[in-house]
Amino acid sequence: QKEKFNYWRNCGVPQLENQHLLFGDFQEYGKINPIKLTDKRYKYFKKLGVKLGGLYQFNRPILMIVDPSLVKLIVTKDFHYFTAHNPKIGNGLLFNNLFHMSGDEWKDARRKLTPTFTSGKIKMMSDIVIEKANELVNLIEKMNQNGQTAEIKEVLARYTTDVIGSCAFGIECNSIQDENSVFFQRGQDLFRKLNNMKPPTLLKLISLFLGKKRSISFDVSDIEDFFRNLVNDTIELREQNKTMRKDFLQLMIQLKNRGSIADIMYEKDVYQKAEGIEILSMEDIAGQCMLFFTAGFETSSTTMSFALLELAQNPEVQNKLREEVREVLQKYNGILCYEAIQELTYCDNVIKETLRKYPPLIQLPRMCTKKYKVPDTDMVIDEGATVSIPIQSIQNDPEYFPNPEKFDPERFNEENKSKIVDYTYLPFGEGPRQCLGLRFALIQSKAGLASLINRFHFTRNQKTPYPPKFALLSAILTLDGGIWLDVKNAN
Ligand code: HEM
């Protein structure tokens, strides 16, 4: 076991001393939250003045990248050495998607799916997003009339669930209006199971890292079946009725039947099967739709929740945002539309600043897929090594973002944005594996935030601590408890 902890030393990579026999460098796992733990390691290596450092998660070697110029090489120029996110740790629908694919399989799927997320396609879906944002406003209005304090995280998860449910699965989930919506409950179950790093998931991960198992299961087969059946039934119905709807599913049906996605869709482009093409299977469609769902609803609702918490904490920023929203809406007869959303530049900066302080994925994952010699050093990274780019730490490093605790959207204004050091701001990742849903995430977050700020004024309820407290055992940035805000009609 001790020899295992010499792995990085043997590669010429600096590492910590005195690893715990079982936990390696993660002996504080579960005692301090994942942000603090990662930050501690980042600061340690940064103080040493090195570009990268080796860690042991249990006995699995992980390489932490500290220097932005090396981040740049790994995610862009030398990407061909780091084409995978992770070693594949499981099977089933949950892993049958772009995020978990590698090599040629990933390249082919990424090429096919990219046209799904162009600005034109996002514009096409913006009507659905805006309709759901209006329902969100009505829900908060009702809560406000009843004198209720809003647990904003859950309310926003209902909004993003309805948006993604409608766009990715073509169904009305009604989670904004119906507290007991089945779709919402299934989504919450799935997220809880994936994000839960407590035993027994933790024990499964330990046995995986110790090499006792090659893959693990997350016990989500019932949820996978739910999504699989939903996709099958909806596609079958559409194929029968030749329905045309402006959503991702329609584009996936087109991909299935025609092998590619056309710019403009006509019925014949979607439902007439092309000859001699490699058909996209129902299982593949269901897998990608499930990824859009898991990647889409929690990340965006988390972002909007943190944005509202910071707006409640910083009323001058909230007022400035409201002024912008009202000024732009005036030009469009008071009605939010795709073009109006594009003009909300301060709103963009509020969301960018939120994603700087609170990136939902605190680290970017990469796996070394070909032996790599780190330029200008003697260090060599083996094929199969896991790489972590600690974006939360980099984005909150005072060297790159002075006074990092301050919520300051002006960091991203026209004058200041050019001062940001390259590869120090990466909430959506970068390079060929950058988040494919970036534009969709921005439109859904902006539509929700702008609609709410136009109508309501938010203040922090005493139940919500500030600075926020993060959960100890979770895979993505999660708060301990909810975000409770008091709501008033805005003047
Ligand atoms: C605020 C919201 C979101 C954030 C912060 C976010 C962040 C990320 C990050 C950090 C990655 C990894 C990037 C890399 O490795 O360089 C990623 C990948 C991905 N995201 Fe997002 N995401 C968000 C919303 C969405 C949405 C709404 C969708 C889809 C509807 C989506 C779909 C994807 C997909 C498909 C990938 C995998 C790309 C690949 O491996 O080629 N994301 N996202």
Residue 187 in contact with ligand 1 by CB distance below 6 A? no
Share of the chain above pLDDT 90, in %: 53
Residue 344 Cα distances to 54, 64, 171, 334, 356, angstroms: 42, 36, 29, 14, 19
Ligand 1 probe mutation, 435, 439, 446, most atoms within 8 A of CB: 435
Query: 353-369: per-residue pLDDT in tens?
Result: 999 999 999 999 999 99
Distance 168 CA to ligand 1 centre (A): 15
Distance 429 CA to ligand 1 centre (A): 8
Q: Which atom of ligand 1 is nearest to the CA of 248?
A: 30
CA 72, 76, 82, 83 dihedral sign is: positive
Q: Give the sheet arrangement for strand 364-367, strand by strand.
A: 52-57, 60-65, 386-389, 364-367
Who has greater pLDDT, 347 or 168? 347
Note the pLDDT of residue 208.
56
Instruction: Read off the pLDDT of each residue in 123-149 and give the average, rounded to a whole number.
Output: 91
Q: Against a cut of 0.80, is the pTM above it?
A: yes
Ligand 1 probe mutation, 74, 294, 347, 428, most atoms within 8 A of CB: 428
Instruction: For 455-466, give the DSSP string.
Output: HEEEEE-TTS-S
Query: 207-230: per-residue pLDDT in tens?
Result: 555 555 555 565 678 888 888 998
Note the pLDDT of residue 383.
92
Note the pLDDT of residue 148.
77
Query: 246-263: per-residue pLDDT in tens?
Result: 888 888 888 888 888 877
Q: Which residues are CB-neighbours of 292 under 8 A, at least 6 positions away?
A: 164, 167, 168, 248, 437
Distance 333 CA to ligand 1 centre (A): 34
Q: Hey, whose CA ends up nearest to atom 17 of ligand 1?
A: 435
End-to-end CA distance of the chain: 65
Q: Which atom of ligand 1 is nearest to the CA of 430?
A: 16
Note the pLDDT of residue 392.
96
Distance 295 CA to ligand 1 centre (A): 6
Q: Hey, whose CA ends up nearest to atom 43 of ligand 1?
A: 435
Distance 384 CA to ligand 1 centre (A): 22
Note the pLDDT of residue 22.
83
Task: Give the Cα separation of 346 and 409 in Å (integer).
Answer: 8
DSSP, collapsed to helix, strand or coil, labels residue 27 as coil
Distance 89 CA to ligand 1 centre (A): 19
Distance 98 CA to ligand 1 centre (A): 10
Most confident of 21-25, 241-245, 354-358: 354-358
Q: Hey, whose CA ends up nearest to atom 19 of ligand 1?
A: 435
Distance 409 CA to ligand 1 centre (A): 22
Residue 437 in contact with ligand 1 by CB distance below 6 A? yes
Query: 81-125: per-residue pLDDT in tens?
Result: 999 998 877 778 888 889 989 989 999 999 988 988 888 889 989
Residue 360 in contact with ligand 1 by CB distance below 6 A? yes
Taking 90 as the threshold, does the pLDDT of residue 387 lie above it? yes
Mean pLDDT of the residues in the chain: 88
Q: Hey, whose CA ends up nearest to atom 20 of ligand 1?
A: 435
Query: 35-82: per-residue pLDDT in tens?
Result: 899 999 999 999 999 999 999 988 889 999 999 999 999 999 999 999
Task: Give the Cα separation of 482 and 465 in Å (integer).
Answer: 10
Which of 192-206, 298-312, 317-331, 458-472 is predicted least confidently? 192-206
Q: Which atom of ligand 1 is nearest to the CA of 429?
A: 16
Q: Which atom of ligand 1 is nearest to the CA of 440?
A: 27
Residue 435 in contact with ligand 1 by CB distance below 6 A? yes
